[in-house]
Amino acid sequence: METTHFDVLVIGFGKGGKTLAATMGRLGKRVAMVEQSSKMYGGTCINIGCVPTKSLVHHAERRGASSPGEWHRTAVEQTRALTSAMRGKNYAMLDMLDSVTVITGRATFLDSKTVRVTAGQVDMLDLSADIIVINTGAVPVLPPIPGLRESSRLLTSTDLIDIDHLPKRLAILGAGYVGVEFASMYAQFGSAVTMLDPAARIMAREDEDITDAATDILRGAGVGFIPGAHVTQVRDIDNGVEITYEAGGATHTLAADEILAATGRKPATEGLGLDRAGVRTTPSGAIEVDEVLRTSQPHIYAIGDVNGGPQFTYISLDDNRIVADQLIGRGERSTADRKFVLYTVFMTPAFARVGLTEREARERGLRVKVVEKAVADIATMPRAKIVGETRGLMKFVVDSETDLVLGAALLSVDAQEMINVVALAMRHGVTASELRDTIYTHPSSTEAFNEVLGSPSVR
């Protein structure tokens, strides 16, 4: 088979990969973008991740007069239309560039410079490139629970956001960030949601006061939580699924209509032929990279979820900046520059955090002061009352000696926006006092910082 040569070959149409391909294409480089599915142009975020899930959250928070089933079905239809439109725009973004070729098929390395692209069982073409960028993302992890994989009622997050019917009883395995987001969303749609997790509390990496507040909100929305639950078996029954689990020294069963496995995601490297390319992986299965995202082969880079870093779209975008700086810039950017990576869980209201938790700060021996306040008690935040969402709390961990913010946890309306202000302040050494005394617009959620950061330390 004849081999077609490119300057840059990108495997995977994710955020970082498509941005890098467009950048190199606009510079006149010959670029090949290989994506295994036409349904994934644009990557995980717009097709099966951030955009569809947050669209469904938006609809779940704004229930209409229709029945729960009709309401949910309409939300799914509108979300499909949104993702379809965005997928088309993402394809066009690259296809309109004369020097970029989009190829739909699965890429497998033949050697360190050559990949073969196949569609189904048919070999399509061989490609070679001077620079290769792997951007294949991550896939759901299914725990080795007897009967789980075989269950016809098993759903991953990808499946759940695209089903037309609303599960009457939804069991969620996992009470981490993804599990919490889906629990909140589907409880609002009208499902009877039960979460099972081996941990004693949801989002176990967070401080206990935060998880207590989040648990109260979820329970208020109708979500049930079974802590310390070790699932031992899953089996299909008439019109549903039966989950057997051990908790509190006894064996129990739970019946549901569908079961969501929200038990994490792993780098998508299966079938890439990395061994033939001489690309090393870590014990966890991620592609091994250095601080500039170069693999064990100096001309091959790995960006996004596949390299084992934080699984966020904005990290993939920043990975693109690092690699672009290596290829066409000054070669100064690296992952070492990446400080105070923030994240949001889109439960209702949203939870967002950046920096250290109180527990982490104290474990490091830092002298800290902690200020926190329930949203309902923040007088300078009328927006919460205006929009009718006063649940949650805001918490800051501040260095007692330097007055620098070490971390913040915001469980409140608009938390996904406010956390960006805090993270930017932390990156540039803005003190807690400066954040406290800054002028903010009114009425806004951010002006809550005036009051919360001016409150007496609770610990």
Q: What is the pLDDT of residues 252-300, one digit of tens each?
A: 999 999 999 999 999 999 999 999 999 999 998 999 999 999 999 999 9
Question: Residue 65: what pLDDT?
Answer: 67
Q: How far apart are the first and last CA of the chain?
A: 69
Say how far apart CA 366 and CA 397 lie, in whole Å. Answer: 10
Q: What is the pLDDT of residues 198-208, one digit of tens each?
A: 999 999 999 99
Q: Does the active-site annotation cover 442? A: yes
Residue 362 burial (10 A CB sphere; 0-12, 13-18, 19+): middle
Q: Where in the chain is the domain with CATH 3.50.50.60?
A: 3-140+266-337, 154-263
Q: Which CATH number among 3.90.550.10, 3.50.50.60, 3.40.50.150, 3.30.70.520 corresponds to the domain 3-140+266-337?
A: 3.50.50.60
At residue 225 the predicted structure's pLDDT band, cuts being 50, 70 and 90, is: very high
**Which CATH code is given to the segment(s) 343-452?**
3.30.390.30
- Give the residue-averaged pLDDT of 348-377: 98
In 53-149 the beta strands, taken as DSSP E runs, fall at 100-104, 106-111, 114-119, 122-134, 138-140
Q: Which residue in this structure is represented by tokens 């007496």?
A: 456
Say how far apart CA 38 and CA 105 lie, in whole Å. Answer: 9
Report the candidate in 243, 262, 114 with the shortest Cα–Cα distance to residue 177: 262
Question: Residue 252: what pLDDT?
Answer: 98
Q: Where in the chain is the domain with CATH 3.30.390.30?
A: 343-452
Q: Worst-scoring range by mean pLDDT, 117-131, 290-304, 381-395?
A: 117-131
Q: Provide the H-helix boundaries in 138-196.
A: 157-160, 177-189
Say how far apart CA 148 and CA 245 lie, in whole Å. Answer: 13
Q: Are the C-beta atoms of 255 and 242 separated by less than 8 Å?
A: yes
Above 80 in pLDDT, residue 241?
yes
Q: Are the C-beta atoms of 356 and 406 separated by less than 8 Å?
A: yes
Q: Which residue in this structure is represented by tokens 């037309």?
A: 164
Active-site annotation holder among 165, 230, 299, 442: 442
Q: What is the pLDDT of residues 3-15, one digit of tens each?
A: 999 999 999 999 9
Pairing of strands 343-345, 351-355: antiparallel
Q: How far, CA to CA in Å, does 121 sit from each of 32, 105, 118, 135? A: 21, 10, 7, 23
Q: Are the C-beta atoms of 215 and 202 separated by less than 8 Å?
A: yes
φ and ψ at 91, to 5 degrees? -65, -45
Question: Residue 459: what pLDDT?
Answer: 85
Above 80 in pLDDT, residue 1?
no
Q: How far, CA to CA in Å, does 327 sit from each of 7, 112, 162? A: 11, 18, 39
Residue 169 burial (10 A CB sphere; 0-12, 13-18, 19+): middle
pTM: 0.94
Q: What is the pLDDT of residues 179-204, one digit of tens each?
A: 999 999 999 999 999 999 999 999 99
Compute the mean pLDDT over every residue in the chain, rounded to the nearest whole number: 96
Q: Which CATH architecture has domain 154-263?
A: 3-Layer(bba) Sandwich (3.50)
